[in-house]
Amino acid sequence: MKKLFFLILLVCFVQIANAQLLYELPIPYLKDLGLKGRIKEVIELDYGGEINGVTVDTLGKYNKTVLKFDVDGKRKETTEYDPDGNMIVKWLFDYTKERTVEVNRTNNANILLSRYIFKYNDQGKQIECDSYVNYIIDNVVDTVFSKYIFKYDVNGNRIEEDIQDEKSAYIDKIIFLYNDKHQQIEKDSYSVDGSLYAKTLYEYDQSGNTIKNEDYDPNKGISIGGDSAAYSNIDKHGNWLLKNYQESFSPNKTGGMVQKGIIKRTILYY
């Protein structure tokens, strides 16, 4: 019974993960992270407030993320720490194979949690990603495989992501829309039967930073959550060093939640 429950939960998780594709797949190159300059290291301290709290304590504990890059703007590794300073997850990026980037995510026991193999074309565009995600319960590993196929318009904007399972069966399709500044303003997620089941809209500030993304239930036409942010302490390269954010969950339901937070950045340059 426990195994059956786990498999049902796993299927639900995969569907949700596919809908949130941009947040699930790692980003190997500095240029695609919205960062500017020849960056060596980024350290982010995330002070998350209490659920539905009014203020954020920036003198208390925080979650820490450290991103490291080489001189060519390739992301070498990313390490995440909990509020007690313990390493939670480490991402390692391998560029040794031609037109291929392999990313491995491990936990603090060095157990492989997921592996992503990106393939690129001659123009340096991602064209595919093979994703292997391991779920461990009672010391038994279940691996979920997904293949992502990326398509672009004539301007180089990624306009479609097709997702397949291990049998090459279609799972999901995600369509992206852009404004005249090539900024992604909409993401539409379609299920295997072609029905739209999720929509996200994006807004940006004058510097190109995302200031709002709102998730919608397209069937009911209501918001089901989203994020908003404001940026300050901009350095000479144009990167923000302070971010105030707010995340909302189920805002149209009784018991909807809001969490505020502050991220402090330190950036080291070559």
Structural domains of the chain in order of their starting residue, each with its CATH number: 2-269 (2.40.160.190)
Question: Which tokens sit at 48?
Answer: 């998350």
If DSSP codes are grouped into helix, strand and coil, which group holds residue 138? coil
* Cβ neighbours for 202, distance < 8 A, ≥ 6 positions apart: 183, 184, 185, 186, 187, 210, 212, 213
Give percent of the chain above pLDDT 70: 90
Rounded (5°) CA angle 11-259-207: 95
- Which band of pLDDT confidence, cut at 50, 70 and 90, is reported for residue 7? very low
Handedness of CA 141, 63, 78, 232 (dihedral sign): positive
| Total-model pTM | 0.86
Q: Torsion angle of alpha carbons 104, 105, 110, 111, nearest 10°? A: -100
| Burial class for 51, CB neighbours closer than 10 Å (0-12, 13-18, 19+) | exposed
- pLDDT, averaged across the chain: 90
User: Mean pLDDT across the stretch 71-89?
Assistant: 97
139: pLDDT strictly greater than 70? yes
Give, for 37, the enclosing helix (H) or strand (E): none
5: pLDDT strictly greater than 80? no
Pick from 153, 161, 150, 160: nearest CA to 182: 153
21: pLDDT strictly greater than 70? no
